[in-house]
Amino acid sequence: MNSTRSCSPRPLVLIITCRVGAGHVQAGRAIQAALRADAPDIEARCVDSLDFASRAFRAFYAGGYSLAVTRFPRLYGLGYRLTNRPHRPERSIPERVRLRFERRAMHRLIAFVRELRPNLIVNTHFLAPQVIGHMIRSGQADTRQFVVVTDNEVHRWWYCQNVARYFAPAPFSAEALRRFGIPDGSITVSGMAVHPKWTAPLDRRKVLADWSLPADRPIVLLSGGTEFVCGPVVRIARGILSTCPLVQLVVLAGRNKKLLARLGRLRGAGGRLTPLGFTDRLHELSEVAHLMVTKAGGMTTAECLARGTPMILLHPVPGQERGNAEYFAREGAAVIVRRARDVAEEVRRLLESPRELERMADNCRRLHRPATETIVEAIRRAVSSSAPVVSPAPRFSER
């Protein structure tokens, strides 16, 4: 990677993501794509913060998260609750230790930013903002930073000083930031950034024809993805097909080849099962789907809102995923199913209740906010202004 800034007079925006869960990276790419389309006068570069860390830190940070949420979800939930404090601006001693450890682990990122000298940094994960904030405070970086929150429930780890603006997914997300001492003037309730293709108009008949899907059956999407083990997805698919004989079921297996193979051997589907590997055209399938059965990830749920697709959310992991699920259930955009064996019956119930399904779709559309457009406009204003746009000076030391 060439770390030197180009000779172009265009302002440079550095988007920093983190591959701990796919949503943070997807949000960063969504903002980059929107900037390239709508603001060609701005150079947008997207990097992953873990690419600047040691192999040991990457294994600990990304691998540990994946292991915890898939194998030890209750333990993960306990850690999530214990670290989600204090609800005030002052840092605790454990927090200060963690922040110092992370800054040392990110020394290559610090060198990269110092050499690149971006006009603005946009973060879609909470690892880099603490590092950049320390650089700004200590005079190592003459830049500003935005933080785009990609969880509806804002954990303490999102909190950082020296942030020009926070973009919060929902009003209750902004309230959590206020408890940490972030002033209202530095918070925008924007929704969650999704790729522009999710809000682009589509021709339903063309989508059905392109995917060889029937127009006279309800279409249900079941997201397997890479975070599932094969068993539950296959059992859920079998249950939906047997309980709902009119359904066309599309199972999204991602890059899970083992899952694809098992779905291909599933008997009794009668042409009503469409197993799919990785695709970047999920927005098309969501356009024609009557219902999405998925995990309550922040980006997945945001994309469903953008297309107005009602959701059945599967057994949310304690922590931010549970916060996402409970929020959408409260707002009438989703229902939560905690046991895999109950999914098929809930699918049947909703498909037989078209008014409830339509209300859920309306609630999805109501909750959607044009986050990507809002963030891009804020970026344009920030890089075109010579005046510094920073939050009030911290009332304490984060060292």
Residues 38 and 168 in one domain: yes
Question: Does residue 165 belong to any structural domain of this protein?
Answer: yes
pTM of the model as a whole: 0.90
CATH of the domain at 361: 3.40.50.2000
Residues 170 and 219 in one domain: no
pLDDT top residue among 97 and 268: 97
What range defines the domain where residue 180 resides?
A: 12-196+370-384
> Percentage of the chain with pLDDT > 90?
76
Residues 190 and 231 in one domain: no
Residues 140 and 229 in one domain: no
Output the pLDDT for position 317. 86
Bridge partners (DSSP) listed for residue 394: none
Give the pLDDT confidence of 22-40 residue by residue, as tens digits.
899 999 999 999 999 999 9
Q: How far apart are CA 260 and CA 140, in angstroms?
A: 49
Name the pLDDT band for 231 (thresholds 50, 70, 90).
Answer: low
Alpha-carbon dihedral sign for residues 168, 173, 174, 178: negative
Output the pLDDT for position 32. 97
DSSP string, 35-47: HHHH-TTSEEEEE
Residues 143 and 210 in one domain: no
Residue count of the chain:
399
Element (H, E) at 314: strand 311-314
Whether residue 62 is predicted with pLDDT greater than 90 in this model: the reply is no
Strand, coil or helix: 221: strand
Q: How far apart are CA 100 and CA 82, in angstroms?
A: 19
Residues 90 and 220 in one domain: no
Q: How far apart are CA 168 and CA 153, in angstroms?
A: 10
Output the pLDDT for position 7. 52
Give the pLDDT confidence of 149-172 residue by residue, as tens digits.
999 999 999 999 899 999 999 999
Residues 275 and 212 in one domain: yes
Residues 380 and 262 in one domain: no
Read off the pLDDT of each residue in 333-347 and give the average, rounded to a whole number.
Answer: 95
Name the pLDDT band for 389 (thresholds 50, 70, 90).
Answer: very low
Q: How many domains does the chain have?
A: 2
